[in-house]
Amino acid sequence: MNNFKRSLGFSTTLAVVIGGVIGSGIFMKPALMASQLGSPWLLLSVWVVAGCITMFGALSNAEVACMFPETGGQYVFFKKMYGDAFAFFYGWASFTVFNTAGNASIAYVCSQYTNYFIHLPRFSLLTEHSVVFHIPCIGTIFPLENIGVKTLTVFLVVVLSLLNSISLKGSGTLQRLLTLLKAVAIVLLIGGILFSSKGSFQHLGSSSATMPQGWALLGAYMAAIGGAFWAYDGWNSITFIAGEIKDPQRNIPKSLFTGLLFCILVYVLINLAYIYVLPLQSMASSSFVASDAASVTWGLMGGTIITLLVILSTLGAANANIMSNARVTFALKEGNRLFTWAGKIHPRFQTPANALVLNAVWSTILIFSGSFDMLTDMLIFVSWFFYAMSALGVFILRRKLKDVHRPYKVWGYPVVPFLFVSFAAFFLLTTLYNDISNYRNGTTHVINSLLGVLITCVGIPVYYFQKSKKVRESV
């Protein structure tokens, strides 16, 4: 299945991990998480716990990626673990839900923050709600909401997809540049806030009077974990381009461990910086917590600085995800006639140009279907089901292919993959319960997790239809 040249070295793979992970989550989610938890220490702990759990899943996947360093990542893994049918369901879900929704949601945040400099048009509330799609048992969608932001988001997805179609080397160079600029800017942001003398570490002891207790605290903690998981999502992008990485047995686990360790440290320090300049109540009620924290430190200029940082960060994350996610759609060509066109390599540029086009088209549809929170909640639920199945597959392959050479073995086996699978299962159950409760309470218009499941399940009849058609044609 590896039809590409191995041209990506460690610096690019590390840039893909860090650039794919650090995007919009750290700038969009902490305020909501602070309101859910009501405690600065619990907020900081969520970032550590979510980071460690993510690391467990990444290292578990690294074992399989080093065994099968092919373009397509987890799609290839699932064919080895569970067979063609399950692999197709994963590929279908990645195309229809989490990969394309990931591309859309990250670019969406980039457009939202661009609105700080350029006033993007918006319809009146009456016009926005004039076009409505209601999905029974799922909720209601308003495609005309925030039309200016959505239009710019589509433009960004199309431009980055075009760049990746023309040149992998060019998009890799852009990725290294954006990640370097992002890392430098974040370090300056953290240092500038923590050494500004404009805040107080006493804010760490100021818990909210409305802090949940007992079982309510557990539900709030798991909801906050979901926000942190979104911020850590994107680590698996490196496995999608495994077929194009030099010395993959060495560079894949090394880039995953180094990149995620850096991300954990950065996330904890950024949240500490937020807490240092903003009391918990101010942080919880903030619309743009990063901008508010920067404004306390640098005044009016702070909002401009942080806006530029977010645009830079999300642009790099969008490029990393668009580059890697198209490789899964490309890999679906194997045994699936519906994706034969997407599985063709461009004769001149030697890139999966058709897959990039297909992903861009579906991302556009998702962009007009919902908001940032809807997209992220939908994709996190579905993607974490497959993350759990991927880690579970490590146990299966240890028995099924016990004599196959493993260039890298996950540290702490079997404890590490077991802990990851157990936590992922618990996270999925609590997320589904919270989503249904919020919908019943009128907090949300859509049960986002069920919408993701519904779109994924459409792949079941699609798979068996094309399979039966293939059998009929072969008779």
What is the rounded average pLDDT of the residues 276-294?
85
pLDDT digits (tens, 9 = 90+) for 175-203: 888 888 878 878 888 888 898 888 888 88
By CB atoms closer than 10 A (0-12, 13-18, 19+), residue 247 is middle
Q: Is the pLDDT of residue 140 over 80?
A: no
| Phi (first) and psi of residue 22, to 5 degrees | -80, 100
Query: Do 375 and 105 touch, CB atoms closer than 8 A?
Result: yes
Q: How confident is the model at residue 470 (pLDDT cuts 50, 70, 90)?
A: low
> Which of 20 and 418 is assigned the larger pLDDT?
418
pLDDT digits (tens, 9 = 90+) for 354-388: 999 999 998 988 888 766 566 667 777 888 899 89
**Locus of tokens 């006033």:** 119
Q: Is the pLDDT of residue 289 over 60?
A: yes
Alpha carbon distance 118, 149 (integer Å):
10
pLDDT digits (tens, 9 = 90+) for 161-178: 999 898 877 887 888 888
By CB atoms closer than 10 A (0-12, 13-18, 19+), residue 398 is middle
Query: Do 153 and 106 touch, CB atoms closer than 8 A?
Result: no
Query: Do 426 and 221 touch, CB atoms closer than 8 A?
Result: no
Domains of the chain (ranges plus CATH)?
10-468 (1.20.1740.10)
Alpha carbon distance 459, 448 (integer Å):
18
Alpha carbon distance 100, 175 (integer Å):
19
